[in-house]
Structure 1
């Protein structure tokens, strides 16, 4: 009986340390990746300011080729929305353009099965092309579990962002196979 109480006390102590430790972690997560695309900011912006071609460069499209996409609102700019529903790899959710500054920036509100985040596409002229930065930001609030999970976001989505940027570069430069 004493051993059982000791084990319960140890489990409770570990749980308390993890919960309190989680509250000391950052309440936000930021992930970003960049690529230089040999196209003008106008050309890059035109693709990002609409969801029409999203599945052509999305790093997640290949995870579920059978995913269903629906589009709402205007074809481009603020209010354009795409909803998706797919397998466990892509889940379901939506993204909506909430800010659009021609040739400079597109901001997208993301909803992944009820979890909200924000993505931004930042465009800067560089040489004869455009430096595109794809950023992801999310708030964890006071949830210690989400704060622990936030430590993994760079590893979880960073590689997908790199893959998506490479696919977008190939698509816009006309080198996609």
Structure 2
């Protein structure tokens, strides 16, 4: 019986350590990526600001031929929105994106709902000194949960997976823009 209580005590202490560790971890998952594209910002901006063009390279929707999309009244600029659902078992929830801020040809900011979890993403265009190429910068942010705070300790896996998705999406964007 004493061994049983020691095991229960050890499990409780482990749980308590995870809660305390998670409390002090950042509550926000942030992923940032950048790629340089050999094109002027004016040629790149429509792929960030027009949701139909965005779907060609998007980290959320590209590569999902089974997804069905429903666009709002506007497809570009502030207020443009799209909703989608994939038939994947892992992606059964409806996801959406709405452009909440846009300034041509500098940046686009969107509010997301990815599998029922709110997030935000900003796409910025930063021309280099030569003026021949433009850096496309993505900053993604999502809250990762409150008590018992353990989700904060597990966000490293999400950062890695999202980083790969963003890298692939930016490479698709580079290919599309430079080929056009």
TM-score, normalisation: structure 2:
0.89
Distance 1:26 1:13 in 2: 22
Structure 2 unaligned residues grouped into runs of 5+? none
Distance 1:140 1:74 in 2: 31
The reply to whether residue 19 of structure 1 matches residue 19 of structure 2 is: yes
2:140 alignment partner, one of 132, 136, 140? 136
The reply to whether residue 83 of structure 1 matches residue 88 of structure 2 is: no
Structure 1 unaligned residues grouped into runs of 5+? none
Distance 1:90 1:171 in 2: 26
The reply to whether residue 152 of structure 1 matches residue 154 of structure 2 is: no
Q: What displacement does 1:89 show?
A: 4.6
Provide the secondary structure at the position in 2 that maps to 1:103.
coil
How much is the aligned-residue C-alpha RMSD, in angstroms? 1.7
Structure 1 contact 123–131 (Cα < 8 Å) conserved: yes
* 4+ runs deviating over 6 angstroms: none
> Paired residue for 2:46?
46
Q: What displacement does 1:141 show?
A: 5.3
Structure 1 contact 31–158 (Cα < 8 Å) conserved: yes
- Aligned in 2, Cα 1:123/1:138: closer, same or farther, shift over 3 Å? same
Provide the secondary structure at the position in 2 that maps to 1:131.
strand
Provide the secondary structure at the position in 1 that maps to 2:52.
coil
Alignment of 1:68-147 (within 5 A): 68-86=68-86, 87-91=88-92, 92-126=94-128, 127=130, 128-140=132-144, 142-143=146-147, 144-147=149-152
